[in-house]
Amino acid sequence: MSGSVAHAPVGVPRSTRPWWQQLWAWVMLSMLLGVLVGHFAPETGAAMQPFGDGFIRLIRMLIAPIIFCTVVHGIASMGDMAKVGRVAVKALVYFEVVTTIALVFGLVAVNLTHPGVGMNVDASTLNSAAVKSVAAQTHDVGVVSFLMNIIPNTIAGAFAEGNVLQVLLISVIAGFALTLMGAAGRPVVTLVGAVSQMLFRAVAIVMWAAPIGAFGAIAFTVGRYGAASLWSLAALLGWFYLTCILFVAVVFGTVARLCGFSLFKLIRYIREELLIVFATTSSETVLPRLIAKMEALGCEEGVVGLVVPTGYSFNLDGTCLYLAFAAVFLAQATNTPLGWEQQVGLLAVLLLASKGAAGVAGAAFVVLAATLSSVGTIPVASVGLVLGIHRLMSEGLTPTNLIGNAVATIVVSKWENALDAPRMRRVLDGEAVSR
């Protein structure tokens, strides 16, 4: 089949070792230790935050160059600019459809479960001081400002800031330029490919710090917030987690069946990445590994290089669930009337606002505040109700985002006839596949 992958990229650990020697087992053990430390020694647990933040920074420093090398090498290897355009269009169409479904799914779920009904919160009594610092981070969610933000002021600035979409734009232009150069550009393509392999080896080294990062992140979360102080919002957390699980099972499960693969086996295949994003509440921590694993699975390099980075901005299904669920929850909690017509209008705003969530610290919460501010129906000060549990809600939305982008990569690869289906089945079944 066209687009088959000849070898798995480096940076993906082999699964032939005993389970207790694999990364996911160490991450799970570290998370358990983090919970114990955070629960029994809250102050010590809260002080562990630098371990989690440090691991995230280690990964983030590698993301921009990995995206650049992967996309440039993939496009140049394709040698077909029309194919690049087709892949981009197909990916964006899929992203828009699935994120819209996610928003509708979230709206229906929160209207059926009513987690905020009965709280009777008086918005005028809420302390808005905690929200002001978040409001200062909000940006105009208009189409023009969003598109203009994709264009960097300088090439170096895009890499320095780590803006995924800006780096992606530069990468596509560079890939097209090398394609137009023909034979003269081959040495550069070879060099970029070698640098890409080096970067994936660097990721493999950094990933062994994942257990330390997971320990620090979980210990901080449990130590800082604790279960007792969150009891009043337990219903919101429970219903939101259940909504995420149902969305993954129903929507992604249906897509997987239509595309001929097992969603359960895919989740098992990326279990290490799911544990890491659950602990760190940051999808960026596994972006390089997701690229490597999707190529190893049998998806063509050029398709992976376009779909995965783009999906990190345009295919945030878990974030969409969060935004829809949290917005209507706040309306219910503050007894704000919100008819179906207003909810449809809210959905339209969220559909655009969610696309700007990537690359922003506390992105989903910032976008939520910006959306409420632009809609004007739900009191903006009410976002303070979910401020304390946003990190815990992120532990549901970030794994959903990751699974969504893994599924999207397979779907677009199959759609473009760039998927080695026999290899995918062997890899998902756990069989050894030659590099």
- Digit-coded pLDDT (tens) for 331-374: 888 888 888 888 888 888 887 767 655 544 456 777 787 777 76
Q: Quick check: is 14 in a domain?
A: no
Distance separating alpha carbons of residues 412 and 401, to the nearest angstrom: 16
Q: Quick check: is 8 in a domain?
A: no
Q: In 334-389, where does DSSP find H-type helix?
A: 340-353, 363-375, 384-387
Q: Quick check: is 13 in a domain?
A: no
Residues 418-433, buried b or exposed e (16+ Cβ, 10 A)?
bbbbebbbebbeeeeb
On the 0-12 / 13-18 / 19+ scale of CB atoms within 10 A, 308 is: buried
**With bands split at pLDDT 50, 70 and 90, how would you rate the model's confidence at 104?**
very high
- What is the reported pLDDT for 160? 83
Query: Number of structural domains, the chain?
Result: 1
Q: Quick check: is 10 in a domain?
A: no
Distance separating alpha carbons of residues 386 and 369, to the nearest angstrom: 11
**Percent of the chain at pLDDT above 70?**
83
| Residue 135 lies in domain | 19-428
Strand partners, 419: 299
425/386: higher pLDDT = 425
Among 4-18, 132-146, 325-339, the range of highest mean pLDDT = 325-339
**With bands split at pLDDT 50, 70 and 90, how would you rate the model's confidence at 51?**
confident
Candidates 256, 264, 251; CA nearest to 318 is: 251
Determine the angle formed by the axes of helices 287-297 and 49-78, rounding to 10 degrees: 40
pLDDT over 70 at 299, yes or no: yes
- Digit-coded pLDDT (tens) for 117-134: 877 766 665 555 555 555
Query: What's 89's domain CATH number?
Result: 1.10.3860.10
Element (H, E) at 73: helix 49-78
Distance separating alpha carbons of residues 267 and 276, to the nearest angstrom: 13
- Digit-coded pLDDT (tens) for 226-269: 655 455 567 888 899 999 999 999 999 999 999 999 999 999 99
Distance separating alpha carbons of residues 315 and 203, to the nearest angstrom: 24
Q: Quick check: is 435 in a domain?
A: no
Q: Quick check: is 370 in a domain?
A: yes
Q: Quick check: is 11 in a domain?
A: no
Candidates 239, 396, 233; CA nearest to 316 is: 396
For residue 188, give the amino acid letter: V
- Which range, of 1-15, 129-143, 293-307, averages the lowest pLDDT? 1-15
Distance separating alpha carbons of residues 312 and 273, to the nearest angstrom: 15
pLDDT over 50 at 13, yes or no: no
For 137, the token pair is: 């981070």
Q: Quick check: is 69 in a domain?
A: yes
For 358, the token pair is: 């990537």
